[in-house]
Amino acid sequence: MKIRLKDIAEEVGVSIAAVSQVLNDKPIRISEKKKRLIKQLAKENNYSPNIAAKSLVLNKTNTIGLVIPDINNPFFAQLAKVLEDQLRKIGYLLILVNSDDHFAAEKELIQLLIDRNVDGLLLALSSESYTYEEELKEFLSSISVPLVLVDRGLDNFPVGQVFYNNRQGGYLATMELINNGHQNIGIMMNPDKNINCIYRYQGYLDALKEAQLPQQESWRVVTKFQFEDAYDKADQLLNNQAITGIVAGNDLIALGIMKRAKKLGINIPEEMSIVGYDNLILNDLLEVPLTSVEQDVTVLGEKAVASLLSAMKEQAPRYLQLTPKIVRKKSVGKRLESKIE
């Protein structure tokens, strides 16, 4: 039978905590003779720590839970990798779960992670959760484990939050088109349910207002952060003869639009310019490399881990808005003179 802390403690006549302290080379007020005996018994019996028992003694599991809304989205896959790397370097195991952008699943998964005694939680909120904001805030307030919101914030809620300035990102994307002569600019994203899109959409409106350009309801198409949804709905903008530029809520939406444009025989950027969001690694592999707003996930991940470690030390919540930047590639061109009314 595998020897346990309890067996060594009984053999030597000390507490389980004392055995744990000795085997972890932590200070403990017992005789050197007993310390030697503890180490000898552990070595002779090939003792290896029982993580569950160790966590009981130390009241920590060295595990962190991460909830993301879409494991299929390369943005979240990249973010999860950065977080896992960062946490492993400091001795934490990351447990990754996927809410599929649904609030009910998100709450259930958070509870499962808490039941497994994670030491902290990193949460990229589901789009749906913003529809139930009061219930969301009530639920998050009931969580007893240190928590940091990463990538998707929550206004007027006192918890650690690390995300990029989405209003600035939406402004940068739209100004990229305006600075290339585009005046009738469409937008495709999910401003009804997702806080990041709500602010990206505000940034789009800010740029149009600053440049005194028109905005029409029919130039705004609501879609999920998904390729298929964007492909199915792209005609509403691609077939609009007035529009010469499109701001996409993320790169998957932009890819759906670009695929549909190719199907329709619409040339990018000659006949339609497009700006994406996330600057995914795959953008360079496209037939027309996508100009996109970058949210550096390495910086996002590093700052989120630092904020969580701070929360775990019961320090004041860290609220951090990072600065996005435009990364110019080939999907934005000068507006064609033929398109000028």
Contact positions vs ligand RIB (CB under 6 A): 73, 75, 151-152, 196, 225, 250, 277-278, 295
- Least spacing, CB of residue 246 vs ligand RIB, in Å: 16
The CB-nearest residue to ligand RIB is 250
Q: Are 126 and 106 in contact (CB under 8 A)?
A: yes
Choice between 196 and 273, CB closer to ligand RIB: 196
Q: Is 188 exposed, middle or buried (0-12, 13-18, 19+ CB in 10 A)?
A: buried
Choice between 5 and 125, CB closer to ligand RIB: 125
- Least spacing, CB of residue 170 vs ligand RIB, in Å: 11
Choice between 152 and 220, CB closer to ligand RIB: 152
- Least spacing, CB of residue 124 vs ligand RIB, in Å: 7
Choice between 47 and 76, CB closer to ligand RIB: 76
> What is the token pair recorded at 338?
């033929």
Choice between 47 and 227, CB closer to ligand RIB: 227
- Least spacing, CB of residue 277 vs ligand RIB, in Å: 5
- Least spacing, CB of residue 212 vs ligand RIB, in Å: 28
Choice between 128 and 151, CB closer to ligand RIB: 151
Total Cβ atoms within 10 A of residue 96: 17
Choice between 73 and 86, CB closer to ligand RIB: 73
Choice between 40 and 72, CB closer to ligand RIB: 72
CA 81 to chain centre: 11
HEC string of the chain? CCCCHHHHHHHHCCCHHHHHHHHCCCCCCCCHHHHHHHHHHHHHCCCCCCHHHHHHHHCCCCEEEEEECCCCCHHHHHHHHHHHHHHHHCCCEEEEEECCCCHHHHHHHHHHHHHCCCCEEEECCCHHHHHHHHHHHHHHHCCCCCEEEECCCCCCCCCEEEEECHHHHHHHHHHHHHCCCCCCEEEEECCCCCHHHHHHHHHHHHHHHHCCCCCCHHHEEECCCCHHHHHHHCHHHHCCCCCCEEEECCHHHHHHHHHHHHHHCCCCCCCCEEEEEECCHHHHHCCCCCEEEECCHHHHHHHHHHHHHHHHCCCCCCEEEECCEEECCCCCCCCCHHHCC
Choice between 196 and 223, CB closer to ligand RIB: 196
- Least spacing, CB of residue 260 vs ligand RIB, in Å: 18
- Least spacing, CB of residue 301 vs ligand RIB, in Å: 13
- Least spacing, CB of residue 85 vs ligand RIB, in Å: 19
- Least spacing, CB of residue 176 vs ligand RIB, in Å: 16
